[in-house]
Amino acid sequence: MSELLGLIDSIEAAVLEGKKVPFSEKVVLYERRLLTLLDKLRIVVKNDPLLIRRSIETTPVQHTPSPTPDTPIHPEVLRQADEESSRLKRATDEYADNVLAHLQMVVTRVQKNLIKLEQSIESGRDHLLTQRNELPHS
């Protein structure tokens, strides 16, 4: 059972270590690492514990290397990347527009408050001037 929990912890760690996609809840994972862990999990569930222990101890988990400039890229991958890029750009623009709209609303409120403050100051000064004029001259 501890092997099973260990693999579950490893899978969880692989997900948590994944790179976050900006402005979304998506995570980029190392596919080979995750698939290797899932294969090991299948073995744990189906076979005897001794086989599992040997499999876990003898198979190192390796990160998937990044593609090199010489690596051919499948056109479908490029299309999906373009679509995701466009979607992220739209999401980014929408987020920026929301932030700017909020800032505009805050500035408008501040302007209104400043006008009220200026009127209060002017009213206070007028009141002081009136009181000063009403005082008997000594």
Contact call for residues 29 and 38 (beta carbons, < 8 A): no
The percent of residues in the chain predicted with pLDDT above 70, rounded, is: 76
Residue 75 lies in a domain: no
Side-chain-side CA neighbours of residue 103 (13 Å):
6
d(CA 41, CA 56): 10
User: Does residue 100 share a domain with residue 54?
Assistant: no
Residue 130 lies in a domain: yes
35 falls in which pLDDT band (50, 70, 90)? confident
User: Does residue 97 share a domain with residue 130?
Assistant: yes
Residue 38 has which token pair?
Answer: 């899932």
Q: Which domain holds residue 8?
A: 1-67
Residue 77 lies in a domain: no
CB atoms within 10 A of CB 37: 20
pTM of the model: 0.39
Question: What would the mean pLDDT of 59-70 be, rounded to a whole number?
Answer: 56
- Report which of residues 70 and 63 the model is more confident about: 70
Q: How many domains does the chain have?
A: 2
Question: By mean pLDDT, which of 15-29, 64-78, 102-116, 120-134 is the weakest?
Answer: 64-78
User: Does residue 132 share a domain with residue 97?
Assistant: yes
Cα–Cα–Cα angle for 121, 126, 128, rounded to 5 degrees: 95
Query: 28 pairs with which residues across the strands?
Result: 19
